[in-house]
Each structure stands twice: as structure tokens, then as C-alpha cells.
Amino acid sequence: MKLTGTRATRFISAPQTDIIGVLFYGPDRGLAKERANQLAKSYCNNPEDAFAATVLTADDLASDPAKLADEMSALSMFGDARLVRVRLDHERNGAAISKIIKSFDTDPKKAEAKLIIEAGDLSPRSAVRKTFDAAGNFASIGCYTASANDLANLVRTTLNGLSISIESDALDLWIPLLSGDHALARGEIEKVALYKGYGAQVGAKITVEDIRKLAAGGQSVSIDDIIMSAMDGRLHECDAQFKRAVAGKINSAVILRSLQRHLGRLIEANANMDSGESPEGAIKSLRPPVFKMQERAFLGQLRLWPGRMLRRALSQTMEAEKQLKTAAAPGDAITGRLLLALAGYAKKRR
């Protein structure tokens, strides 16, 4: 059974009793872990108790996949709920695991324990994923990288609960730095909230300066700085800023996704202009609105970049993203070359 969206959220909060086990998979390992931990508390009074919960690894099952069936069938020593957790870092014995899941799905009464599997970004061809998707007594839940809107809602909700507000400019600066991993995002929000004393001071507010000082990657250079330099044609600044970002451990994939979002907004504004709006009117129609400090630069980029070149640039970022997903891809080099190519084009147009 495949669960998505609100169905997945509701299930994790109040799991169906007829579901024996759940597979959490996807590129956001932090989110998978958080959801798995939340579900474990529903399945077991003390998930950390070695007598109540058994933890298996992918290597354990690679050498002896029958361990999974044995642990799921084993009776509790004290008659209370049992839990089996599997960290599936590879699928070298995926077919055998799939066969065991199908066996329990056919005869669920022989299961004496609940099962939670945490995996990485399984492809649709994965034997384990396909089995969970098709099962009637097992569920699969994908854990994907949060959108900018989801991250903004997470920040606002968490901070509002602590009586801390945040400037809109600070939020715009922070969101790209939080992309990529749910656990990282929560940790960063916790760190900044701690700095603000968890809202103990009336009127506590997070500012742009706070983000530049505290946020991971914010100290050396912001992702917006890199993107705006590239699209403005400031070639040397773009090169220097990207090198500082790499040195500061900012993920190239995060920079690439932010570039895609920026190009998408430029393409939308360009389409508004083609419909007869002025450049100023075209950007005022965008949602969320353009960061005030960037309005002048955004207008300048609309003049530098014709629509067909914006679409071509977006296509190149998509191709670069594909390259980043291949094994051992030099992500920094791929992203850096693309940024310099865009900056070079814009410089010629100035």
C-alpha cells in the first residue's frame, strides 16, 4: 500500500492496526528517520529497549535474510509489543527480503512484531519498494526534499510556537540554506531558536544579520549572492563567491535547485512582459514577491536575458542536475562550470 501526502501524515500519527510494517524511503534520509522514529513510538512503548526492539542492518540480511522472518515471528519474552527495525543501506538481497514480506502479507497472523524499514532513494524498480507498494498489510511512504513553501511553513510554525518572529528578508535568505535534508533543517531552526532564547524575551525576532551569523553556509556567502552575480554577468564575483561556498560546505545541488527556482521566476516575469505588462508590473505579479533588496537586479536581468535564453539556461540546469545524480559525479565542478557559463553570457550582454 502506497501512502502519500495527508494519508501518510495521518497514518504516522495514528497507524492502522492491520498494517504490519512500513517502508520509509527517499532522498531525504533525515525526514525518513524522523518519521520512522515517530511511528516506532506508536508501535512500541520503549523503542530503545533491546528486549522490545530488534535492529537489523542491510549487511545482516545480506548474509542471512531469514533473520528478518525469524525476528518478525519471534514471541515477546514479556508478552508486550515488539518492533523490528531495518536500516536498508543497500539491496544486495532485495529479492529475498521481498519474498519474506510477501509471505507475511499472505499470512499476517504469523507476525508477532511490527516492522519499520528505513531506506535511501529506492528506484521504482526496487524489489523491496514494489513489494511494499503492492502489499495489503504493509505500507510504503516516500520521503522527499521539502519545497521552499514547505520549509517556510516549517520555520514559521516552529518559531511561532516559541513566540519568535522572523523578518521576511531573513526568511528568504534562510530557506535556500535549509534545503536538502529535513533533519538538517530542524537542527538549524533549533540552533537559531536557542540563540534567541526560545522566545523568552518579548518581541524576539530573527534578522538577516542573525542568519548570516548563525545559519550553516550563511557565514561565508549566501546562495542568492552567487545566483545574482551569475545572472548579472559579474563573472569574477560569481567565481569567488562559488569558491567560498564550496569551502563553506554549501551543497552544489542546493545551489543548483535555487538557480532553477530563480530562472523559473524570471521566465514567469518574462511571460508577463510578453502579455503587455511593464517590467515593474511583471515582477509585482510574482508570488512570493521579489526580495526588495533584489528588485533592481531582477529588473536588470529581465533586460539582459531574452525569454528563449532563460528557457535554455533552465534546460541546462536540469541536465546538470541529472549529471549530479550519477555515481561519483564532480558536483562542484559541474555546478561551477554552469554558473560561469551563465555569468559569461550575461557579461557579454551588458
Identify whether the C-beta of residue 292 lies closer than 8 Å to the C-beta of residue 241: no
Give every CB contact of residue 310 below 8 A, 6+ residues apart in sequence. 263, 266, 267, 270
Q: Distance between CA atoms of 75 and 57, rounded to whole angstroms?
A: 21
2-142: which CATH topology?
Rossmann fold (3.40.50)
Residue 218 pLDDT = 54
Q: What top-level class would CATH report for the domain 148-214?
A: mainly alpha
pLDDT at 196 over 60: yes
Q: State the average pLDDT for the chain.
A: 88
Residue 285 pLDDT = 80
Write the pLDDT tens digit of every residue in 219-265.
Answer: 445 788 889 999 999 888 888 888 878 877 778 888 888 899 899 98
Question: Residue 273, SS3?
Answer: helix
Write the pLDDT tens digit of every residue in 311-346.
Answer: 999 999 998 888 887 766 788 899 999 999 999 999
Q: Band of the pLDDT at 207, cuts 50, 70, 90? A: very high
pLDDT at 217 over 60: no
Residue 118 pLDDT = 94
Identify whether the C-beta of residue 274 lies closer than 8 Å to the C-beta of residue 307: yes
Which of 115, 147, 108 lies closest to 44, judged by CA?
115
Residue 166 pLDDT = 95
Residue 221 pLDDT = 53
- pLDDT > 70: what percent of the chain? 96
Residue 181 gets the label, from left (phi > 0), alpha (psi -120 to 50) or beta, of beta
Residue 79 pLDDT = 64
Average pLDDT over residues 142-169: 91
CATH annotation of 223-349: 1.20.272.10
Write the pLDDT tens digit of every residue in 64-82.
Answer: 999 999 999 988 766 678 8
Average pLDDT over residues 33-55: 85
Q: What pTM, to 2 d.p., does this model score?
A: 0.57
Domain spans, the chain: 2-142, 148-214, 223-349
Which of 105, 7, 117 lies closest to 57, judged by CA?
117
Distances (CA, A) of 37 to 42, 118, 234: 9, 10, 46
Residue 220 pLDDT = 46
304: enclosing H helix or E strand: helix 295-304
